[in-house]
């Protein structure tokens, strides 16, 4: 079983739709949960950062973490064509030199 599972997509939605992106994981030591966004021919950039369980909202984006189910989600409200990108979930444990474990990314396409 891979440590982090993420559906690669592509996920195609019309402009204005609500988008749900998800990752599951197996390592119960993960404490930090992130979503990175990667536009074509660019490096990933941090979008959302959550510690432990709960929700975090930033504008049109909401990140949810359910540690009991080992499941994290990113919701995008009122999706825009500019949201078209690959979204990577990432996680790490609470240890001094822990590194991030990334999902393989979900490609999102928002059509006008």
Partner 1 sequence: DVKVTQSSRYLVKRTGEKVFLECVQDMDHENMFWYRQDPGLGLRLIYFSYDVKMKEKGDIPEGYSVSREKKERFSLILESASTNQTSMYLCASSSGLAGGPGSGANVLTFGAGSRLTVL
- Which parts of this chain interact with partner 1 (CB under 8 A)? 8, 32, 34, 36, 41-46, 49, 51-52, 88, 90, 92-100, 102-105
Q: Which is nearer to partner 1, 34 or 63 (CB)?
A: 34
Burial 17-52 (b: 16+ CB within 10 A, else e): bebebbbbbeeeebbbbbbbbbeeeeebeebbebee
Any idea which residue has 């979503």 for tokens? 35
Q: Which is nearer to partner 1, 19 or 34 (CB)?
A: 34
Q: How far is the CB of 51 from partner 1 (least distance, A)?
A: 4
Q: How far is the CB of 102 from partner 1 (least distance, A)?
A: 4
d(CA 105, CA 21): 10
């Amino acid at each position: 079983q891979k440590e982090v599972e993420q559906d690669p997509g592509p996920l195609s939605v019309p402009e204005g739709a609500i988008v749900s992106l998800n990752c599951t994981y197996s390592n119960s030591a993960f404490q930090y949960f992130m979503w990175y966004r990667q536009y074509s021919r660019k490096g990933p950039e941090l979008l959302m950062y959550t510690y432990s369980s709960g929700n975090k909202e930033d504008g049109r984006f909401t990140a949810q973490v359910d540690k009991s189910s080992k499941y994290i989600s990113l919701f995008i409200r009122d999706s825009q064509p500019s949201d078209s990108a690959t979204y990577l979930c990432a996680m790490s444990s609470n240890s001094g030199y822990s590194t991030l474990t990334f999902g393989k990314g979900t490609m999102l396409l928002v059509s006008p």
